[in-house]
Chain A
Amino acid sequence: MFEADKSEVDKPEAGQQPIPAQLQRLRNTFAGRLCDRLSELEHAWDKVRGSHWQQEALAHFRLLAHSLAGAAATFGFQSLGEIARTLDLSLQAVLDNGAEHTLDEAARQRVGSHFSRLRQAAQSIATAGCADAAAERALDTASDLVTRFHNRVFIVDDDEQVAHELARQIGFFGYDVTVFIDLNGFQAAMASAHPAAIIMDIRFPDGPFAGCEVMEAIRSQRGFDVPVIFISEHSGLEARVKAVRAGGEAYFNKPLDLPRLVYLLDTFTSRRRQQPYHVLIVDDDPLVAEHHATILEGAGFTTLVVNDPTAVTLALEDFYPEIILMDLYMPGISGPELAKVIHQQEMYVSVPIIFLSMEDDRDRQLATIRVAGDDFLTKPIQPEHLVSVVSSRAQRYRTLRYYMERDGLTGALNHTRVLDRLASEVARAQRDGTSLVFAMLDLDHFKQVNDSWGHHAGDNVLQSLARMLKQRLRKSDVIGRYGGEEFALILPNTEVEAAFAVLDDIRRSFAEVRFRHDESCFQVTFSCGLVALDDFPDAGRLAMSADEALYEAKQAGRNRVVRIRSR
């Protein structure tokens, strides 16, 4: 157990040999960025405490503590490293402890006290380090290696009111925003911080194009690649040209078109990993099937092996294959027959099916494909060949399916697909004995938005809501556009109280978003009805009751979330 003792706060220890200047500089960079690490940790800890999905939050918090433990000691901050390590170990203990993965009161206090010790130690190093880094502000080799924080955005605008209002609005979409109202403060921060994007005003008291000039200077100094969005009151050609020369990615006139700005930020920061392709392997020979599965898993695919061809329908229910590899000859049913069975199901009408066989007569192969299936691979297959055929087919299918299943405006699933997903998620939840929540969500007085501001404005509202839902919900949640201004959400593995809290929070945030149209500005709210699978144990009743709950929310005055239970 550590005692809280300020004297313990460490300075880099010199050791016997002199520290090379370069190492010192890297240390300073590390110290300077401790502020960022600490705020990431704070954020993660908040999530752990306030989260309804505690396990994910805990794992994330732990990962941050773990990497700080490794880094701190490497840079010579031994006792900070040890404190972080203690935190890491205490979190690991919680995570390893049974299936619950939740913090009980004792564990919360233990972790909390480790974290406050860590905070103290990190802050005192950071304060010294930031000053150093700002003073140095020189080229440092670390800067170009640094990966950006996904959701960190800097706003630089000398109009304080505009800047803070913009920060608030962007904050609703899940961005972590820092505002600078003068260029000096911004430049000092850039010496050690690495935002995902910068929103920069053009005119400052320092000069009519000072914003562009500062960015140009930073860029030439450190070959710098943070995307910059320039904003300005003027739309003059000179300002635009300067913005382009300063490496601006976009130019917005004030008042800002917020949905478009957020869309752009999303594209800059969406370096989120693509989900791996799902490959279903059907082969009655377990060894062959495993062999192919191993090759594909190794190349980053997610695979499911089915040895009994009659079990394929079951696998289709919740694996959602994006490509199927199938043995040509299996007991009881032939590959082409099974392929037809699969393609007869509406959800899998066009999923690519590739046959594997020893058959190497191309004519006979083609004859088979003519009946059913998409391609033919001859065993034994070169691993690279298998990977390349599977990935190109799966990729094409995913793209195709995206257009078939998604609503073009919002990217949400379309009505039919939501219902399909609801049926299969319900089946899965019932099989696994897990909870599930279904919600329906409808914009209030949306017709008025279209009537008074036009359809373009209405589309903006729909897109913004979809984007906010995507930002705030988990990857495993399903977002669908149910009708004109109606959305449906499937939240698997979720308790209804947690869902209520999250949706109500989104409701409040969305109500505060200001949409601009020409010179004026409006806000839109939504109503939401919410039901749990526990109360309505099948997909049909779930959908119907969610609709009733939504109706109740509207009746009760809109802009609210209503849950109904079985009566």
Chain B
Amino acid sequence: MNTLQRILYVEDDPDIQAIAQWVLEDMGGFNVRICSSGEEALTVAPVFVPHLILLDVMMPGMDGLATFRALRTLPGLQGVPVVFMTARVQSHEVDDYRQQGATGVISKPFDPMTLADQVRMLWKEHCHV
């Protein structure tokens, strides 16, 4: 269970979706499923059963935190590590997210060339905790 394969990425911006899917699949070798909204993620996640979830914080409709809380109530998803993607990266906010149960935070804008590595590092951290 220690290999990271399936990643669910929740993000409303189509350009970011495209580049993230490409770097995570082609450079990272992961199996990536993109959702354009929190609502969509709630229906996809139970079926896709991701190993890790990347969540954009600011989305129209359900935002990242609301999606996170909702995902946590779904059967089978309680233990799945969730990483927030956000433009606000002050350290107290990172602590805040962690306190709420997030595995980590990746700051936006992210560097496409290293995104896959960042994700892999957070996954390792998660497995060692």
Cα(A85)–Cα(B113), bound, Å: 22
A29 and B15 contact, CB distance less than 8 A:
yes
Q: Does B72 contact A (CB under 8 A)?
A: yes
User: B16-24, B47-55, B93-101, B118-126: which lies at the A interface?
Assistant: B16-24
Minimum CB–CB distance for A99 against chain B, Å: 21
Give the nearest-CB partner of A17 in chain B: B113
| Chain A 80-100 interface residues, beta-carbon cutoff 8 Å to B | 81, 85, 88
Chain A hits for B22, CB < 8 A: 22-23, 26, 141
Give the nearest-CB partner of A143 in chain B: B18
Q: Does B4 contact A (CB under 8 A)?
A: no
Choose from B37, B60, B87 the contact partner of A70 (Cβ within 8 Å). Answer: B87
| Chain A 133-155 interface residues, beta-carbon cutoff 8 Å to B | 141-142, 145-147
B14 and A147 contact, CB distance less than 8 A:
yes
Minimum CB–CB distance for B69 against chain A, Å: 6
B15 and A294 contact, CB distance less than 8 A:
no
Minimum CB–CB distance for A62 against chain B, Å: 9
With A70-B87, A74-B108, A75-B19 in contact, do A295 and B73 touch (Cβ < 8 Å)? yes
A23 and B112 contact, CB distance less than 8 A:
yes
Cα(A449)–Cα(B74), bound, Å: 56
Q: Does B31 contact A (CB under 8 A)?
A: no
Cα(A33)–Cα(B58), bound, Å: 21
Cα(A295)–Cα(B73), bound, Å: 7
A142 and B18 contact, CB distance less than 8 A:
yes
Q: Does A73 contact B (CB under 8 A)?
A: yes
With a 10 A CB-CB cut-off, give which of A30, A67, A72, A298 has the most chain B CB atoms.
A67
Choose from B21, B73, B110 the contact partner of A74 (Cβ within 8 Å). Answer: B110
Minimum CB–CB distance for B109 against chain A, Å: 3
Cα(A68)–Cα(B9), bound, Å: 18
Choose from A22, A70, A73, A383 the contact partner of B13 (Cβ within 8 Å). Answer: A70
Minimum CB–CB distance for A277 against chain B, Å: 13
Q: Which secondary structure characterizes the binding site on chain A?
A: helix
Task: Give how many A-B residue pairs fall within 8 Å (CB-CB).
Answer: 90
Chain A hits for B72, CB < 8 A: 298
With A69-B87, A74-B110, A81-B109 in contact, do A146 and B18 touch (Cβ < 8 Å)? yes
Q: Does A15 contact B (CB under 8 A)?
A: yes
Chain B hits for A74, CB < 8 A: 16, 19, 108-112
Chain A hits for B116, CB < 8 A: none
| Chain B 1-44 interface residues, beta-carbon cutoff 8 Å to A | 12-19, 21-23, 26, 34, 36-37, 39, 42
Chain B hits for A17, CB < 8 A: 113
Cα(A26)–Cα(B19), bound, Å: 7
B69 and A145 contact, CB distance less than 8 A:
no
A145 and B14 contact, CB distance less than 8 A:
yes
B17 and A145 contact, CB distance less than 8 A:
yes
B15 and A75 contact, CB distance less than 8 A:
yes
Q: Does B75 contact A (CB under 8 A)?
A: yes
Q: Does A273 contact B (CB under 8 A)?
A: yes
Q: Does B79 contact A (CB under 8 A)?
A: no
Choose from A15, A33, A298 the contact partner of B113 (Cβ within 8 Å). Answer: A15
Choose from B14, B61, B70, B109 the contact partner of A72 (Cβ within 8 Å). Answer: B109
A71 and B13 contact, CB distance less than 8 A:
yes
B18 and A300 contact, CB distance less than 8 A:
no
| Chain A 50-78 interface residues, beta-carbon cutoff 8 Å to B | 63, 66-67, 69-75
A63 and B113 contact, CB distance less than 8 A:
no
Residues on B facing A (Cβ under 8 Å) = 12-19, 21-23, 26, 34, 36-37, 39, 42, 58, 60-62, 69-70, 72-75, 87, 108-113
Residues on A facing B (Cβ under 8 Å) = 15, 17, 22-23, 26, 29-30, 33, 63, 66-67, 69-75, 81, 85, 88, 141-142, 145-147, 273, 294-295, 297-300, 383-384
If A74-B112, A298-B74 are given as contacts, then 20 extra A-B residue pairs at C-beta distance below 8 Å, sorted by A number, are A22-B22, A22-B26, A23-B19, A26-B19, A29-B18, A30-B15, A63-B58, A67-B12, A69-B87, A70-B16, A70-B87, A71-B13, A74-B16, A81-B109, A88-B87, A298-B69, A299-B70, A300-B42, A300-B70, A384-B75
The 7 closest A-B pairs by CB, nearest first: A73-B109, A298-B73, A142-B18, A70-B108, A74-B109, A146-B14, A298-B70
A-B contact pairs, 13 of them (CB 8 A): A23-B19, A29-B15, A30-B15, A66-B58, A67-B58, A71-B109, A141-B21, A145-B14, A145-B34, A146-B14, A147-B14, A273-B37, A298-B73
